[in-house]
Structure 1
Amino acid sequence: MPPAAPDQLRRANTALVVRTLRDAGPSSRTSLARRTGLAKATVGAIVGELSERAVVVEGDASSQGRGRPSRPVELAAGSVLGLGLEVNVDYVAAALVDLAATRVLTTTRQVPDGADALETLVELALEVADQAPGRIVGAHLAVPGLVERDHATVALAPNLGWTGTRPGDVLAEALGVTVLVDNDANLAAVAESTHGAAQQSVSTLYITGTVGIGAGIVQDGRLVRGSGFAGEVGHMPIGDLGRRCACGRQGCWETTVGLRAALAAVGMRASGTPMERAAKVAARAETDADVATALDVLGAQLGHGLATLCTVLDPEVIVLGGYFQPLAPWILRSAQDVVHRRLPAAHHQRPDVRVGALGIEAAALGAAEQALTDVLEGYVAL
Structure 2
Amino acid sequence: MTSPGPTGAPAATDRLRRENTALVLRSLRDNGSASRAAIAQRTGLAKATVSAIVAELSSAGAVLESPAEPDVAPTGRSGRPGRPVRLHGRDTVGLGLEVNVGYLAATALDLSGRVVLSSQVPLESDRAGLDGVLALAEDSLARLTADGHRVLGLTLAVPGQVELDTGRVIEAPNLHWHDRDVAADLDHALGELTVRVDNDANCAAAGEAAFGAGRGCSDLLYLTGTVGVGAGVVVAGELRRGAHGLAGEVGHAPLGAAGAPCACGRTGCWETAVGLLALLRETGTSFAELGSHDPVTVASRIAERCPDDEPVRAGVLRFGRSLATGLAVLAATLDPEVIVLGGSFVPLGDWLLPVVDEQVAAVSSSRVALSTLGLHAASTGAAAAVLGEVYAGTLALA
Name the TM tier (shorter chain): over 0.9
Distance in 2 separating the partners of 1:272 and 1:69: 60
Q: State how many pairs are aligned.
A: 375
1:129-174 Cα offsets, whole Å, 9 max, x none, are 0111321111111110111242411111111111101122222222
User: TM-score scaled by structure 1?
Assistant: 0.92
Q: 2:380 aligns with which of 347, 365, 381?
A: 365
The one-letter code of the counterpart of 1:246 is A
User: TM-score scaled by structure 2?
Assistant: 0.89
Contact 1:146–1:157 (Cα < 8 Å) also in 2: yes
Distance in 2 separating the partners of 1:84 and 1:93: 8
Which residue number corresponds to residue 256 of structure 1?
273
The one-letter code of the counterpart of 2:371 is G
Which residue number corresponds to residue 57 of structure 1?
64
The alpha-carbon deviation at position 350 of structure 1 amounts to: 1.5
Q: Determine helix, strand or coil for the equivalent of 2:153.
A: strand
The alpha-carbon deviation at position 291 of structure 1 amounts to: 2.4
Q: 2:92 aligns with which of 80, 89, 94?
A: 80
Contact 2:107–2:117 (Cα < 8 Å) also in 1: yes
The one-letter code of the counterpart of 1:56 is V
Q: 1:27 aligns with which of 24, 34, 47?
A: 34
The alpha-carbon deviation at position 113 of structure 1 amounts to: 4.4
The alpha-carbon deviation at position 105 of structure 1 amounts to: 1.1
Contact 2:278–2:319 (Cα < 8 Å) also in 1: no
Contact 1:29–1:73 (Cα < 8 Å) also in 2: yes
Distance in 1 separating the partners of 2:319 and 2:102: 22
Structure 2: runs of 5+ lacking an equivalent: 3-10, 73-77
Contact 1:90–1:117 (Cα < 8 Å) also in 2: no
Q: Where does 1:187-266 land on structure 2 (aligned, <5 Å)?
A: 187-226=203-242, 227-266=244-283
The structure-2 alpha-carbon separation of the partners of 1:129 and 1:196, relative to structure 1 and needing over 3 Å to count, comes to same
The alpha-carbon deviation at position 64 of structure 1 amounts to: 6.8
Q: Determine helix, strand or coil for the equivalent of 2:326.
A: helix
Which residue number corresponds to residue 346 of structure 1?
none
Which residue number corresponds to residue 111 of structure 1?
123
Q: Percent identity?
A: 48
Confirm or deny that 1:268 pairs with 2:285. Answer: yes
Q: Determine helix, strand or coil for the equivalent of 1:159.
A: helix
The Cα RMSD (Å) is 2.1
1:7-38 Cα offsets, whole Å, 9 max, x none, are 33222111111112222333332332232222
Q: Determine helix, strand or coil for the equivalent of 2:384.
A: helix
Contact 2:101–2:126 (Cα < 8 Å) also in 1: no
Contact 1:217–1:231 (Cα < 8 Å) also in 2: yes
1:311-367 Cα offsets, whole Å, 9 max, x none, are 3222221111111111111101101212223x2xxxxx4211111121111101111
Contact 2:220–2:234 (Cα < 8 Å) also in 1: yes
Q: Where does 1:219-368 land on structure 2 (aligned, <5 Å)?
A: 219-226=235-242, 227-269=244-286, 270=290, 271-341=292-362, 343=363, 349-368=364-383
Q: 1:16 aligns with which of 4, 23, 33?
A: 23
Contact 1:275–1:323 (Cα < 8 Å) also in 2: yes
Contact 1:55–1:75 (Cα < 8 Å) also in 2: yes
